[in-house]
Amino acid sequence: MKQKKIVAVSFFMAFFSIIVFLCSFFFEDRTMEKGVESALVNPKNKEKIYFVEFSKNGENLLLKKNENFWYCSGNGIFTFADEEKIEKFLSALTKIRTVYKVLDSERENFDMDSFQISNFRVSLFSSSGEVLGILYFGKTDSLTSRIIFSSKNGRIVFETEDDFSSFLNMTVDFWVKMEIFFGVKNPSNLNFSPDKLHLLYSLRHGKTKSLSELPVGAKQLKGFTVYGQFQDYHTIEIYEYESNGRSEYFYRQNVSSSKEEDRAFFELSGITYMTLCNLLNEQRK
């Protein structure tokens, strides 16, 4: 009986030792990991970035900078992009952060080509076309809140704090500038009170569409132009489309200070349309 107890205890201790060994092996990288302080993109190149291309599964979206504006191009649409959102994204890519090595494709059975083909690609270029960075992003670990990534021609997969996956978005409406009037900051032709002027600049549009999607039969209603101090202006032309007794509203725009032609139209809610009409009528009194 005593011998059986000794055997049982010995078996338990051996089993426990194996479990501890396996656990220590499994968690070795996590408990002993040492991160490296680095940026995903060289911070010195931030101001040189003029093109940002997103691509996945054969789809593409391009952000382009030209003098005072950023533009968004995708799905037949070319229009103004939200420069504040782009600034936040580029700041996240160029900030110094802690980066951890996850996999080395030369030492481990890992297909780097498949990883890069199947995941989200971000390509950064200068105004002359110089490549400033190409990155591939995978999934975010829900436990560590870290996202995995690799660089072009790299053999190592890394992970780092995920503070930018929300920007990995190829939807035009995510990147487009939402304010209806943004091309003129100090209007010269509006005799609005500060509250009314704030209301005008707070108006937002709905979905962004390509010109080919403008409904056949839509009729042009009226225009609204905001002039600046130096002959610059921002004009919108409003359209109405009637269907099944309901009216839908859209607008196209022209910003004089832009070097690029806007190739899109934008949905307007009924409330926003009426607000614009009221402001326009008040201006004409």
How far is the C-alpha of 119 from the C-alpha of 16, rounded, in Å?
41
Cβ atoms of 147 and 162 within 8 Å: the answer is yes
Q: Is 75 left (phi over 0), alpha (psi -120 to 50) or beta?
A: left
Residues of the chain above pLDDT 90, percent? 64
Q: Residue 141: enclosing H or E segment and its boundaries?
A: strand 131-141
d(CA 215, CA 270): 17
What are the tens digits of pLDDT across the range 83-117?
999 999 999 999 999 999 887 755 565 666 777 77
Nearest to 158 by CA among 56, 36, 28, 44: 36
Question: How much is the average pLDDT of 139-168?
Answer: 89
Task: Write out the two tokens for 67.
Answer: 């003098």
Token pair in block for residue 275: 């607000």
Q: What is the pLDDT of residue 230?
A: 86
Contact 69, 232 (CB under 8 A): no
pTM over 0.75: yes
Nearest to residue 269, comparing CAs of 250, 255, 252? 250
**CA–CA gap between residue 146 and residue 152 (Å, rounded):** 20
Report the percentage of the chain scoring pLDDT > 70: 84
pLDDT band at 152 (very low <50, low <70, confident <90, very high): confident
Q: What's the pLDDT band for 68 if we cut at 50, 70, 90?
A: confident
The structure tokens 């509250």 sit at 195
pLDDT grade for 142, boundaries at 50, 70 and 90: confident
Report DSSP letters for 76-124, one per residue: TEEEEB-HHHHHHHHHHHHS-EEEEEEEETTTTT--HHHHHHHSEEEEE
Residues 6 or more apart whose Cβ sits within 8 Å of residue 85: 167, 175
Q: What is the DSSP letter of 182?
A: -
Res. 198: pLDDT tops 90: yes
Count CB neighbours of 185 within 10 A: 12
pLDDT the model gives residue 17: 45
pLDDT tens per residue across span 238-282: 999 998 889 999 999 999 999 999 999 999 999 999 999 888 777
